[in-house]
Chains A and B, each alone.
Chain A
Amino acid sequence: AGCSGGGGMASCRRLSGAALREVLGPAQGLLFDCDGVLWAGERAVPGAPELLERLRRSGKAALFVSNNSRRSVAELERRFSRLGFRGVRAEHVFSSALCSALFLRQRLLGGGNGSGGGRVFVLGGEGLRGEVRDAGLRLAGEGEAAPSAAEPVRAVLVGYDDQFTFAKLSQACGYLRDPQCLLVATDPDPWHPLSDGQRTPGTGSLTAAVETASGRKALVVGKPNTYMFDCIVERFGVDPARTLMVGDRLETDILFGKNCGLSTILTLTGVSRLEEAQAYMASDSAAAKELVPNYYVDSIADLIPGLDE
């Protein structure tokens, strides 16, 4: 019983009944991915707001970790409220936009190298740009002809950019000719589901273009890399052994949980299918086995019976 995310392959068990109470009982908190877990498009997953309310009443923490780099955490706080989730504040939400800004702040402003920071060229929307500004960084303008010696561009940040163009790709590569200029990506996601079952290209596809053109590898902030967990620990001090990761995407959420030493729960209201988890479990590849969740549920509403009345 308990939440240890320790060694050996996970077994992808359906979480219900006595096992559910044994797993949730000792947990101090849960980390939730958002899209496909709490909501799908503009619709909350039925029972999800009630689950969060019951967690709050049980004294368990709920924190949110999302690869979605479109929205600022202030916008996300409003979204939670609009979709019927009570009591979620911006400080509980760790988006790849926020964490990329924190990462860049550390790298560009945090050290003692006294170079004054420099500017960031952002490939992304206003939500991402706002987080970078809020972190105290300055943005490079679009359409500039050449890097300015006065305040050089010290990082290119690739996020979800539905206004991505060849011209911006070319501009990014110009900055990246300076080996001191960082290449950072908010997340690796190749695509995201739309509510009608179609897909829209993700940051990962844009990052691949920038990497190919520049000959550089991007530092990826989002899941499955662990930087966002470092941000969570710094702000809230969570104990991985007493924390569960709940997500819908095996290659990001579940692997993130595994990488951070958390027990993982796959919910089936989003991207990944149970058959995919089972296929990874049956695979000979060590890398595939890292993508197998400890547990799965049809929806996070199924977790409610595991909490005290």
Chain B
Amino acid sequence: AALPGPAPADWAQAPLDPAVRAVLVGFDEHFSYAKLCQALRYLLRGGPDCLLVGTNRDHRLPLEGGTAIPGTGCLVKAVETAAQREAFIVGKPNRYMFDCVASEFNIDPARTIMVGDRLDTDILMGNSCGLTTLLTLTGVTTLDEVKGHQESDCPARQSLVPDYYVDSIADLLPALGD
């Protein structure tokens, strides 16, 4: 519903939908202070009975040419900060999506490979879920970054290291039958 008036004092008087039981934060190029206000109102009204869910925490979405736009993670952080509570994050590296796939398709982690280009989402999720992990270099990650984590003493950084890498997923073709 449209918010009455131009100012937060007006927005705080807009009627709340009594049926709302969750605030879901996803990628929103129309994110605004007014929406942030409404999210906060629902979370305060519902307390623990109103879920706060974020689709993912990506900081940035890369565009061609090396630029990037803000990612969903920024919007999740804004809501978490205002509400002083932590969101349940569905996306990688959290395991919820793997659990969805695994329950629907009877997957054996020991015989499944996770293929991705991001260490802190794709590879971390794969490693956490007991999958074999394969990094492809056609995306955001360089081999130097991987080496940096590999050489570090920090266990958290070690969990970002993939089992294998390829320059591109096309490199997998020779291993498959005709």
| A residues in contact (CB < 8 Å) with B | 161-167, 169-170, 173-174, 177, 190-191, 194, 196, 198-202, 204-206, 208-213, 215
Given A209-B75, A213-B60, verify A169-B33 contact (CB < 8 Å). Answer: no
Would you give the 0/1 interface string for B15-36, flagging 1 where the beta carbon is closer than 8 Å to chain A? 0000000000000111111101
> Given known contacts A209-B77, A212-B73, is B84 in contact with A190 (CB within 8 Å)?
yes
Task: Check A206 against B78 for contact (C-beta < 8 Å).
Answer: yes
Chain A to chain B: the 6 pairs with minimum beta-carbon distance, closest first:
A213-B70, A201-B82, A205-B82, A205-B81, A209-B74, A208-B77
Q: How far is the CA of A261 from the CA of B68 in the complex (A)?
A: 44
A/B interface sample: 8 pairs, CB < 8 A = A161-B33, A162-B7, A165-B33, A166-B31, A169-B74, A200-B40, A205-B81, A208-B81
User: Are A191 and B33 interface neighbours, CB within 8 A?
Assistant: no
Bound Cα distance from A166 to B44, whole angstroms = 23
Contacts of B37 in A (CB 8 A): 200-201
Chain A residues whose C-beta falls within 8 Å of the C-beta of B84 in the assembled complex? 190-191
The reply to whether A173 and B12 form a contact with Cβ atoms under 8 Å apart is: no
Contact A205 B36 (CB under 8 A): yes
Q: Which residues of B contact A167 (CB under 8 A)?
A: 29
Partner of A166, one of B7, B67, B70, B73: B70
* Cβ 8 A contact of A201, one of B9, B36, B70, B73: B36
- Which residues on A sit within 8 Å (CB–CB) of B68? 173
Name A174's closest neighbour in chain B (CB-CB): B67
Question: With A165-B32, A166-B31, A166-B70 in contact, is A201–B60 under 8 Å at CB?
Answer: no
| B77, chain A: closest CB distance, angstroms | 4
B95: interface (CB < 8 Å): no
Indicate if B139 sits at the interface (CB-CB under 8 A): no
Say what secondary structure dominates the interface of chain B: helix
Q: How far is the CB of B33 from chain A (nearest CB, A)?
A: 4
What residues of A have a CB within 8 angstroms of the CB of B60 in the complex?
A: 173, 213
Instruction: Check if A166 sits within 8 Å of B82, measured CB to CB.
Output: no
Chain A CB within 10 Å, residue with most, of B29, B68, B77: B77
Can you name the residue of chain A whose Cβ is closest to the Cβ of B68?
A173
**In-complex Cβ contact of A173 among B28, B70, B78 (8 A):** B70
Residues in chain B near residue A173, CB distance under 8 A: 60, 68-70
Q: How far is the CB of A224 from chain B (nearest CB, A)?
A: 16
Residue of B nearest to A206 (CB): B78
A255 to B119 alpha-carbon distance, docked (Å): 39
Q: How far is the CB of A187 from chain B (nearest CB, A)?
A: 13
B148 within 8 A of A: no
Best-buried of A163, A174, A205, A211 by chain B (most CB within 10 Å): A205
Given the complex, which residues of A lie within 8 Å of B78, measured CB to CB? 201, 205-206, 208-209
Report yes or no: A209 in contact with B70, Cβ–Cβ below 8 A. Answer: yes
B71 contacts chain A at the CB level, 8 A cutoff:
yes
Docked CA distance A208–B84 (Å): 12
Closest to A161 in B: B33
Q: Which of B46-97 contact A (CB under 8 A)?
A: 59-60, 67-71, 73-75, 77-82, 84
Q: Cβ of B4 < 8 Å from any Cβ of A?
A: no
A163 to B84, CA, bound (A): 22
Task: Tell me the bound Cα distance from A201 to B70 in angstroms.
Answer: 20
11 more A-B residue pairs beyond the given contacts A198-B41, A198-B44, A200-B8, with a C-beta to C-beta distance below 8 A: A166-B28, A166-B31, A167-B29, A177-B67, A190-B84, A191-B40, A194-B8, A200-B40, A201-B37, A205-B77, A206-B33
The answer to whether A212 touches B59 (Cβ under 8 A) is yes
Q: Complex Cα distance A44/B83, Å?
A: 28
Nearest chain A CB to B5 CB, angstrom units: 11
* A200-B12 in contact given A162-B7, A165-B32 (Cβ < 8 Å): yes
A120 to chain B, nearest CB (A): 20
Question: How long is the Cα–Cα vector from A119 to B82 in the complex, in angstroms?
Answer: 29
Would you call A199 and B70 a contact (CB within 8 A)? Answer: no
Which of A162, A206, A210 is the most central at the interface, judged by chain B CB atoms within 10 Å of its CB?
Answer: A162
**Please, which residues of chain A bring their CB within 8 A of the CB of B9?**
194
> Chain B: which residue is nearest A166 at the CB level?
B31
Contact string, B138-150, partner A, CB cutoff 8 A, digits 1/0? 0000000000000
Residues A198 and B12 in contact, CB atoms below 8 Å apart: yes
B74 near A213: Cβ-Cβ < 8 Å: yes
In the assembled complex, the Cα of A210 lies from the Cα of B31 at a distance in Å of 13
A165 and B81 CA atoms in complex are apart in Å by 17
Q: Which residues of A contact B73 (CB under 8 A)?
A: 212
CA gap between A36 and B78 in the complex, in Å: 24
Residue of A nearest to B9 (CB): A194
- Residues of B contacting A210 in the complex (Cβ-Cβ under 8 angstroms): 74
